[in-house]
Amino acid sequence: MTSELGHIPAPPQEHRAPPRQQIWTANQRRLKYIRKRDPNRDRPLSLNWRCDVKEIAALLELPPVRSAKGARVQAVIVADALLAAHYDPERRISYSRRNAWWHGARLYHDSDFSFYTVIPTIDGLIEAGILVDHDLRPAGLSSGIQSSYRPARWLADVGLPKLHHEVGELIRLKDADGKMTDYKDTKRVIRDRALLSKINLAVAEADIRIKSPDAVIEGDVVRFGKQAIYTTQKALYRVYKGSWTLGGRYYGAWWQSCPPRHRKFITINGQATVERDYSQIHPRLLYKMAGQTLNGDAYEVSGWHRDLGKIAFNMILNAQTLSRAQRALADALQGDMDAAKELIEDIKTKHPNVQEYFHTGIGMRLQNIDSEMCRSVLSELHRKSIIALPIHDSFIVAEEHEKALEKAMKTALDRSMPCKR
């Protein structure tokens, strides 16, 4: 019988577990911790739902508002809370009470949604008991932790209105602290926005569904246990992190949140699909950057589960310093700093030719390269009228377009590989 990934059968009772077995057992415990931590992490308030204001008002008694704008803002926040109450009631919804945050992010919101409309609306809904468990944070200097709340439990008994999701600005830029920031259009931004608009329009017109036997489908919502996916979220947007040469990956579409084992059940216009990915894309790009060739599996580190090797490898690419890499990995390993230091040193021993790039923050640069590869693939397939669903370093297409996808991916990889700096 084939064992599960990473499972090592227990030794006979008459023998003591060898040291190697003890290492694997510890690794399995760490992996379970990593996979289970932060299941209810806050999510940001979504102001992209569009709904009929009168329909929302007919569902429940709302606090009075002074204008049509106020009614629209209130309806969107209530719609977001209704969805949360039905499908994710324990997860907190976070938002900023800082005027500077709203001013810096004004490019990304409809003009109706501002500090002067959203904050009073939330306060009114909290006073009315529609939003509860309010964690109010100071509105002064940024602390890195936003105010948050939960939807009242009784909202789960209120019917859901008909909702439409609007993606908003397609090209987004975050500052060094991860906050959305305004920017001026360039020729490149205008070009990318135009391409993404065309791709989103084609995807919106396609019939994209998921037929997993484990999925519970309730209208536009697909549930996998406690996880809910909103299939109206079909539009993509790009997020750059710190500059136009960092990050740039595509986000926003529901299939990106779909559990990997269920993605094979996605259909496009009634056709079965295939998913193809770039194996070990960041290690391959990193080695190319160093003028070297990657041989073997970058994430296979002696004495460690491969999944831990992959997690650690990517952490030390993204961290700015060694100490930050060690702290981040120790947090992932249940606070075991010794294990974090040992794993990092083992990775360095395995990869001496690219050590100079570790814990330098190179990860965001590599993300920018793979995001440009993604843009190239999407552009080429769109030119051929092929719908492609991107998931960072992989793509889903109808089975009949598998060869076209593989060719586009190879071309993008050949063109985008970085030269030695």
Mean pLDDT on 322-336: 89
C-alpha span between 320 and 316 (Å, rounded):
8
What does the alpha-carbon distance between residue 241 and residue 220 come to, in Å, rounded to a whole number?
Answer: 31
Residue 151 has pLDDT above 90, yes or no: yes
pLDDT given for residue 2 in this prediction: 41
Model pLDDT, residue 7 = 40
Q: Does 208 score more than 90 pLDDT?
A: yes
* CA–CA separation, 178 and 243 (whole Å): 11
Average pLDDT, stretch 115-131? Answer: 95
What pLDDT does residue 157 have? Answer: 93
Residue 11 has pLDDT above 50, yes or no: no
CB proximity list for 344: less than 8 A, separation 6 or greater: 312, 316, 322, 325, 326, 329, 358
The tens digit of pLDDT for each residue in 388-408 reads: 999 988 999 999 999 999 999
Predicted local distance difference test score (pLDDT) of residue 143: 56
Categorize the per-residue pLDDT at 29 as very low, low, confident or very high, splitting at 50, 70 and 90.
low
Q: Is the pLDDT of residue 19 over 90?
A: no
Measure the CA–CA gap between 328 and 119, rounded to whole angstroms.
34
Per-residue pLDDT, averaged over 35-45, amounts to 67
Q: pLDDT band at 367, cuts 50/70/90?
A: very high
Task: Give mean pLDDT, residues 327-331.
Answer: 89
With a cut of 50, say whether residue 6 has pLDDT above it. no
- The pairs formed by 228-233 with CB atoms below 8 angstroms and a separation of 24 or more are 228/83, 228/86, 228/87, 228/88, 229/254, 229/257, 229/258, 230/83, 230/165, 230/254, 232/163, 232/164, 232/165, 233/165, 233/167
For residue 343, the Cα-to-chain-centroid distance in whole angstroms is 26
Report the candidate in 125, 141, 143 with the shortest Cα–Cα distance to residue 133.
125
Q: How many CB atoms lie within 10 A of CB 36?
A: 8
Q: What is the pLDDT of residue 26?
A: 60
- Calculate the alpha carbon distances from 219 to 38, 224, 231, 283, 333 in Å: 28, 14, 9, 41, 40
112, 157 contact by CB (below 8 A) = no
Report in angstroms the alpha-carbon separations of 311 from 121, 213, 319, 327. Answer: 41, 30, 12, 13
For residues 257-280, give the mean pLDDT.
Answer: 94
> Which of 3-7, 189-193, 228-232 is least confident?
3-7
Rounded-to-integer distance, Cα 254 and Cα 237, Å: 12
Mean pLDDT (the chain, rounded): 87
Asked if residue 20 has pLDDT above 50, the reply is no
| Greater pLDDT, 230 or 10 | 230
Task: Extract long-range pairs of 257-262: CB within 8 Å, 24+ residues apart.
Answer: 257/227, 257/229, 258/210, 258/224, 258/229, 259/224, 259/227, 262/210, 262/212, 262/214, 262/215, 262/224
Which pTM does this prediction carry?
0.82
Asked if residue 45 has pLDDT above 60, the reply is yes
pLDDT over 80 (residue 417)? no
Q: Which region among 25-34, 59-68, 88-97, 104-113 has the lowest average model confidence (pLDDT)?
A: 25-34
